[in-house]
């Protein structure tokens, strides 16, 4: 009982904590430890809890050296890990005994985040390398075989321009992604008129749509009060969703933006604005839907690339919506079209 009283507050610690006596018997385990290693009887020897040789070795050497020992250890089921394990010997004055405090910090999430970062770097490098190598290829050709060929020169310069523009777009998208991610947890607080914003984007993209024989219809069913937000970021949401709708819809169809209010929406406290961008295009097969907002994820990378896409548009959209404490819903049917719905708290 006295041990429980002495160490009971460790239940509030997020990391798993075990306390052993000098005989390596468990005198205390907090809640997190019980969740990881199962409930156990006090007084059992540590080897009855786990037989992990690295772990036992670490405990033994802390016991012998009376020094803090630390190591990364992966346990089997159900505890898993990897854990950053720290064994700290200490003399407890109140109880007049010598103990080992073992803390186990699950670093799986940290490692996953690191993995995601290096995947991202690999993706960026790949995306930048392909336009760069075609530009280098054209330079070679223009310096060598096509040196005196005026017709080829014109064509190659056009292609080089396209590739250079592609790199510029990629860098611009990367910068806006990192800007949104860096903007932190605070909700942006400028007053934004969503209806005016939608009209502005509609006008800006009208030309692009008509060029492809498409139109943009804006349907505003009621007047919507201003919301708290960042107008530049919200403009990017409209732009990206609308550009996709235009890009991936069938010729001679209309893309619609619908604006309305909702008294409640899933995951949002209080009323919300609903922004629906609908196209009548190829649609997206269900297995792709959950991954669509991942950076560089494309259903058809060849098609996306050939239309100048970077695969970052929806990742940017997702982060901006998160920043505004909103929600994104994607519905699509192959052969019919897609609807991207954004809910933003009013
Ligand atoms: N309205 C849509 N209809 C069908 N497929 C879509 C639609 N919107 C997005 N997609 C699919 O989702 C993928 C990711 O979209 P995202 O906007 O992130 O990238 P992108 O359009 O390829 O490039 P960009 O970064 O230039 O926008 C697209 O490559 C496309 O396959
Ligand atoms: Mg896009």
Quick: pLDDT tens for 9-40: 888 888 999 999 999 999 999 988 888 777 76
Report DSSP letters for 236-302, one per residue: HHHHHHHHHHHHTBPTT-EEEEEEEEES-BTTBSS-EEEEEEEE-BS---GGGGGGTTSTT--SSHH
Q: 299 and 281 share a domain? A: yes
Nearest residue (CA) to ligand 1, atom 27:
313
Residue 185 pLDDT > 80:
no
- Domain count for the chain, please give it: 3
Examine the fold and report which residue of 106, 140, 167 is the final residue of a domain before the chain moves on: 106
Structure confidence by residue, pLDDT tens digits, 267-309: 888 899 999 999 999 999 999 999 999 999 989 878 777 777 8
Q: Which pLDDT does position 1 carry in this prediction? A: 53
Q: Which pLDDT does position 266 carry in this prediction? A: 85
pLDDT band at 147 (very low <50, low <70, confident <90, very high): confident
Q: 68 and 216 share a domain? A: no
Per the structure, the complete domain to which residue 13 belongs is given by: 2-106
Closest atom of ligand 1 to 169 CA is: 26
Examine the fold and report which residue of 56, 91, 106 is the final residue of a domain before the chain moves on: 106
- CA–CA separation, 123 vs 115, rounded Å? 12
Residue 179 pLDDT > 70:
yes
Q: Which pLDDT does position 316 carry in this prediction? A: 95
Q: What tokens were used for 22? A: 């000098």
CATH number (domain holding residue 320): 3.30.565.10
135 lines ligand 1 (CB under 6 A): no
Counting ligand 1 atoms within 8 A of each CB, the residue from 313, 338, 340 with the most, and so the one to mutate, is 313
Q: Residue 118 Cα, ligand 2 centroid: separation in angstroms?
A: 23
Structure confidence by residue, pLDDT tens digits, 79-120: 777 899 999 999 988 888 899 999 999 888 788 888 888 888
Q: Which pLDDT does position 48 carry in this prediction? A: 86
Q: 97 and 158 share a domain? A: no
How many CA atoms does the CB half-sphere of 133 hold within 13 Å?
Answer: 6
Q: 161 and 210 share a domain? A: no
Structure confidence by residue, pLDDT tens digits, 55-71: 999 999 999 999 999 99
Q: 210 and 318 share a domain? A: yes
245 lines ligand 1 (CB under 6 A): yes
Q: 65 and 175 share a domain? A: no
Examine the fold and report which residue of 89, 106, 123 is the final residue of a domain before the chain moves on: 106
Q: 241 and 259 share a domain? A: yes
Q: 177 and 203 share a domain? A: no
Q: Is 252 exposed, middle or buried (0-12, 13-18, 19+ CB in 10 A)?
A: exposed
Q: Which pLDDT does position 241 carry in this prediction? A: 97
Q: 218 and 299 share a domain? A: yes
Q: 127 and 203 share a domain? A: no
Mean of all residue pLDDT scores within the chain: 90
261 or 14, higher pLDDT: 261
pTM, rounded to two decimals: 0.74
Residue 334 pLDDT > 70:
yes
State residue 294 phi and psi, 5-degree precision: -70, 150
CATH number (domain holding residue 147): 1.10.287.130
pLDDT band at 186 (very low <50, low <70, confident <90, very high): confident
317 lines ligand 1 (CB under 6 A): no
Q: Which pLDDT does position 116 carry in this prediction? A: 82
Q: Which pLDDT does position 41 carry in this prediction? A: 65
Residue 323 pLDDT > 70:
yes
pLDDT band at 49 (very low <50, low <70, confident <90, very high): confident
Counting ligand 1 atoms within 8 A of each CB, the residue from 172, 243, 248, 278 with the most, and so the one to mutate, is 248
Q: 101 and 112 share a domain? A: no
Name the least confident of 77-81, 150-154, 196-200.
77-81
Q: Residue 247 Cα, ligand 2 centroid: separation in angstroms?
A: 8
87: part of which helix (H) or strand (E)? strand 83-92
Q: What tokens were used for 237? A: 């949401």
Q: Residue 304 Cα, ligand 1 centroid: separation in angstroms?
A: 7
Q: 191 and 141 share a domain? A: no
Residue 254 pLDDT > 70:
yes
Counting ligands in written order, which one lies closest to the CA of residue 311? Answer: 1
Q: Is 159 exposed, middle or buried (0-12, 13-18, 19+ CB in 10 A)?
A: middle
């Amino acid at each position: 009982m006295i041990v429980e009283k002495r160490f009971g507050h460790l239940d509030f610690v997020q990391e798993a904590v075990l306390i052993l006596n000098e005989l390596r018997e468990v005198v205390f385990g907090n809640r997190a430890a019980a969740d990881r290693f199962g409930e156990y009887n006090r007084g059992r020897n540590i080897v009855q809890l786990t037989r992990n040789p690295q772990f036992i070795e670490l405990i033994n050497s802390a016991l012998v050296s009376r020094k803090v020992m630390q190591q990364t250890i992966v346990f089997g089921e159900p505890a898993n890990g990897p854990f950053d394990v720290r064994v700290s010997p200490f003399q407890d004055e109140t109880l007049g005994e010598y103990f080992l405090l073992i803390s186990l910090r699950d670093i799986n999430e940290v490692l996953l985040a690191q993995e995601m970062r290096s995947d991202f770097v690999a993706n960026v490098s790949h995306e930048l390398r392909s336009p760069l190598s075609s530009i280098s290829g054209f330079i070679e050709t223009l310096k060598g075989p096509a040196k005196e060929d005026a017709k080829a020169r014109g064509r190659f310069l056009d292609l080089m321009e396209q590739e250079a523009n592609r790199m510029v777009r990629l860098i611009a998208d990367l910068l806006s992604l990192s800007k949104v991610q860096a903007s932190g947890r605070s909700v942006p607080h400028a007053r934004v008129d969503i209806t005016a914003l939608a009209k502005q984007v509609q006008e800006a993209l009208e030309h692009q749509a008509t060029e492809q024989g498409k139109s943009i219809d804006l349907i505003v069913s009621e007047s919507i009060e201003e919301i708290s937000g960042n107008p530049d970021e919200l403009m990017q949401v409209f732009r990206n969703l609308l550009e996709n709708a235009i890009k991936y819809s069938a010729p001679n169809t209309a893309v619609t933006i619908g604006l309305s209010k909702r008294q409640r929406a899933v995951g949002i406290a209080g009323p919300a604005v609903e922004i629906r961008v609908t196209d009548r295009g190829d649609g997206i097969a269900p297995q792709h839907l959950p991954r669509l907002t991942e950076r560089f994820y494309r259903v058809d990378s060849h098609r996306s690339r050939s239309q100048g896409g970077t695969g970052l548009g929806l990742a940017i959209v997702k982060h901006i919506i998160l920043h505004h404490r909103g929600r994104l819903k994607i519905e699509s049917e192959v052969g019919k079209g897609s609807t991207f719905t954004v809910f933003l708290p009013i």
